C-alpha cells in the first residue's frame, strides 16, 4: 500500500529535495503538467507515469494537478515518489525517463520580480522583491473605525464616516503602491496580495493603478494577520514555497 504525506517547503528546501532526487538514481519517470490542461489529458499522462495497480493514487494525483493554479511536477520511480506543486506556473509539458529536475530547478532559481501588497483595514505593507531580496518597501497605518452597531440614524452617520475613512485610507495606500512599484513596473513578473479578502477586493476596486497588473496577479491570497515590515519577510518565503506530496510504502 502506498501512503501519501503532504508538506510545504520553502525555496531552499525544495531545491534540496531536487538534489536528493538526482542523487537517488534508479529507474523512474518525470511528468511536467502546466495548469489548465483538460482532465482527460491529465488522467492519461498520470496513468502513463504511474503504471497499473495504483488507481487510488492516480486519482489523488489527478485531482491535485487539476486544482493547481501553477501546474505540477511528478517524479515517480522505484526509489522516490513525489509531486511538487510549484509557486509559479509550469510553462511546458514534459514526459521523460529518470528524475528530470532541471526545468523545475531553473524555475525556482529565477530571480523573479514580485510585488507584495498586504492590506487590512488600518494597516498595510508593500514590498518589491527580486527573488527573495527586498528592493523597496513601505509600511504604515491609517485610522479606520470598527463597525458601529447601535442602530438608527447614529449608525447611518457613523457608516458614512467610516466609508470616508476607508476611502482615504485606500487612496493613501494606492499612492504608496504606485511610488514603490512603478519604478520597476515593466520588469515586475507577479503581484501577490495578502491580508483580508473583502478589504483587498474593495482596495483593488478603488486603486485603478493595480489593473495594469491583472495579467500578472497570482490567484492566491496570503494569510497575513498584521501587515508590517516583518510580515513582508515571512510573506515572500510563502510566495516561493512549494507544496510537496510524497508517497511511501506503508
Residue 173 domain-assigned (yes or no):
yes
Shared domain for 162 and 233, answered yes or no, is: yes
Say if 246 falls within a structural domain. no
Give the pLDDT of residue 152: 45
What are 218's three cell numbers?
Answer: 497570482
Judged on CB neighbours under 10 Å (0-12, 13-18, 19+), 24 is middle
- The residue with cell 495497480 is 53
121, 106: one domain: no
| Claim to verify: residue 85 and residue 186 sit in the same structural domain | no
Q: Are residues 104 and 52 in the same domain?
A: yes
In order, the DSSP letters of 115-179 are EEEEEETTEEEEEEEETTEEEEEEEEE---PPP--S-HHHHHHHHHHHHHHHHHHHHHHHHHHHH
Are 117 and 234 in the same domain?
A: yes
Same domain, 100 and 206: no
Q: How many domains does the chain have?
A: 2
> Domain check: are 103 and 121 in the same one?
no
Of 110, 141, 174, which marks where a domain is finished?
110
90 and 37 both lie in a single domain = yes
Whether 143 and 47 share a structural domain? no
Query: Does residue 136 sit in the same domain as residue 230?
Result: yes
Domain of residue 134, CATH code? 3.30.420.60
Which of 61, 84, 110 represents a domain boundary (last residue)? Answer: 110
Kindly tell me the number of DSSP H helices and DSSP E strands found in the chain. Answer: 7, 11
pLDDT of residue 113: 98
139 in Cβ contact with 173 (< 8 Å) = no
Residues 84 and 127 in one domain: no
Q: Is residue 161 part of a domain?
A: yes
Q: What integer pLDDT is reported at residue 51 of this predicted model?
A: 78
pLDDT along the chain (250 residues), means of 10: 84 97 88 94 90 77 92 92 96 93 97 96 94 96 59 56 78 95 96 95 95 94 93 95 88
For residue 77, is it within any domain? yes
The C-alpha cell at 82 is: 513525489
Instruction: Print the domain residue range for 61.
Output: 2-110
What pLDDT does 9 receive? Answer: 97
Q: What is the CATH number of the domain that holds 73?
A: 3.30.960.10
249 located within any domain? no
Amino acid at each position: 500500500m502506498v501512503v501519501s504525506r503532504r508538506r510545504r517547503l520553502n525555496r531552499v528546501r525544495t531545491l534540496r529535495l531536487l538534489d536528493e532526487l538526482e542523487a537517488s538514481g534508479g529507474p523512474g519517470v518525470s511528468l511536467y503538467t502546466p495548469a489548465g490542461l483538460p482532465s482527460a489529458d491529465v488522467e492519461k499522462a498520470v496513468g502513463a507515469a504511474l503504471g497499473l495497480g495504483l488507481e487510488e493514487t492516480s486519482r489523488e494525483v489527478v485531482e491535485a494537478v487539476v486544482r493547481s493554479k501553477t501546474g505540477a511536477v511528478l517524479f515517480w520511480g522505484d526509489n522516490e515518489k513525489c509531486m511538487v506543486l510549484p509557486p509559479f506556473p509550469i510553462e511546458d509539458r514534459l514526459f521523460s525517463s529518470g528524475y528530470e529536475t532541471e526545468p523545475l530547478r531553473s524555475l525556482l532559481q529565477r530571480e523573479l520580480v514580485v510585488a507584495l501588497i498586504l492590506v487590512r483595514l488600518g494597516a498595510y505593507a508593500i514590498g518589491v522583491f527580486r527573488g527573495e531580496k527586498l528592493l523597496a518597501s513601505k509600511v504604515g497605518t491609517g485610522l479606520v473605525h470598527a463597525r458601529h452597531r447601535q442602530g438608527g440614524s447614529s449608525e447611518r452617520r457613523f457608516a458614512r464616516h467610516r466609508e470616508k475613512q476607508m476611502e482615504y485610507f485606500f487612496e493613501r495606500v494606492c499612492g504608496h503602491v504606485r511610488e514603490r512599484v512603478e519604478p520597476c513596473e515593466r520588469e515586475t513578473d507577479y503581484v501577490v496580495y495578502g491580508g483580508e479578502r473583502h478589504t483587498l477586493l474593495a482596495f483593488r476596486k478603488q486603486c485603478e493603478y493595480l489593473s495594469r497588473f491583472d495579467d500578472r496577479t497570482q490567484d492566491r491570497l496570503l494569510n497575513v494577520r498584521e501587515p508590517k515590515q516583518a510580515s513582508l519577510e515571512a510573506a515572500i518565503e510563502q510566495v516561493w514555497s512549494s507544496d510537496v506530496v510524497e508517497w511511501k510504502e506503508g
